[in-house]
Amino acid sequence: MKEFDRYHKQMLFKPIGEHGQALLGEKHVLIIGCGALGSSIAEMLTRAGIGKLTLIDRDYVEISNLQRQHLFTEADVQKKLPKVIAAQSALNSINAEVTIEAHVMDGNANTLPNLVNNVDLIMDATDNFDTRFLINDIAQKHSIPWIFGACVASSGLSFTIIPEKTPCLDCLIKVAPMFGATCDAVGVISPAVQMVVAHQVTEALKILVGAEGNLRSTLVIFDLWHNQYQMIDVSKAKAKDCKSCGTDASYPALTYKNSTKTEILCGRDTVQIRGKKFELTMLAKQLERFGEVNQNPFLVSVQTKAHRIVFFQDGRTFIHGTNSIKEAKKIYYQMVG
């Protein structure tokens, strides 16, 4: 081990050492969500020398992200780059030894099961419990550990879920305190994000180097502004009759909303429609009569007087400026027929 090696300081930490560093370089982590939590998790794991990261996110970079999402820049906002594409570029510039796979798509019951082959760990960086319940069922079905994390305002929480050993999310949510508000409603400060990430990535490193005996068995929950920090024992929450992790598990989330074509994005004043795929250059020309059009290789957006509409390459559309599915559909069909 040479002092100028990239991972020298990390290998000096005895619980990791040279053997643990070699193990990290062989591991594959799936990060679901590439916003505040996901981008910071991805950066830490990339700097730590993970072998491969797979990133999935459905959104693009906006100016309001820059306050807490450290990988992104004003240039990414101007280009309206999808978050995973901007993250992939930034991460490649940090550590070219790491393989970064990026997917601009919605994480749902159709797409996520296709991404878990050869994955050693799943990191939750989502902003809604529908997706978390889906992660939970996929992880239980395929026996993949995953690390739950959430933050809002100055508070955060995290729990490490090991199939067959710990309570799953469905067990946990029945007995533990969870946040009712969202960061879109009450805001969030960057230190709360980084505290959750610190807990998540530390647990991830333990799993990836084979130090499961050091995993935290409690739910951690904190409020930085009010100087509160709790470790809650939830070991008795595991239920034998749980539909996700019990003896007769049926994994209900794997079919939940599987056929849903529209949804209101949490706190965003935005409706997502999953429709047909368009050839983006032809679509951009078609949209010019409705307002100012911007295009990149991943999406086309049009700004009207009242709404911003974003068409993604995978067939999804964001209608910004409404929480009405009926109104969103009307706008969508006016533009594309």
Looking at residue 272, which CATH number applies to its domain? Answer: 3.30.310
Structural domains in the chain (count): 2
Interval 16-40: pLDDT, tens? 999 999 999 999 999 999 999 999 9
Interval 230-277: pLDDT, tens? 999 999 999 999 999 999 999 999 975 544 567 777 667 899 988 888
The reply to whether 123 and 271 lie within a common domain is: no
The reply to whether 151 and 299 lie within a common domain is: no
The reply to whether 320 and 213 lie within a common domain is: no
Interval 136-179: pLDDT, tens? 999 999 999 999 999 999 999 999 999 999 999 999 988 887 76
- The pLDDT of residue 116 is above 90: yes
- Final residue belonging to a domain, choices 223, 254, 285: 254
The reply to whether 199 and 290 lie within a common domain is: no
- The pLDDT of residue 83 is above 90: yes
pLDDT of 259 reads: 47
The reply to whether 250 and 114 lie within a common domain is: yes
Domain, as residue range, for 316 = 262-336
pLDDT of 260 reads: 55
- The pLDDT of residue 311 is above 60: yes
Low-confidence winner among 95-104, 136-145, 313-322 (lowest mean pLDDT): 313-322
Q: Identify whether 106 is part of a domain.
A: yes
Interval 183-231: pLDDT, tens? 666 889 999 999 999 999 999 999 999 999 999 999 999 999 999 999 9
The reply to whether 320 and 211 lie within a common domain is: no
Mean pLDDT for all residues in the chain: 92
The reply to whether 213 and 66 lie within a common domain is: yes
Side chain identity, residue 301: S
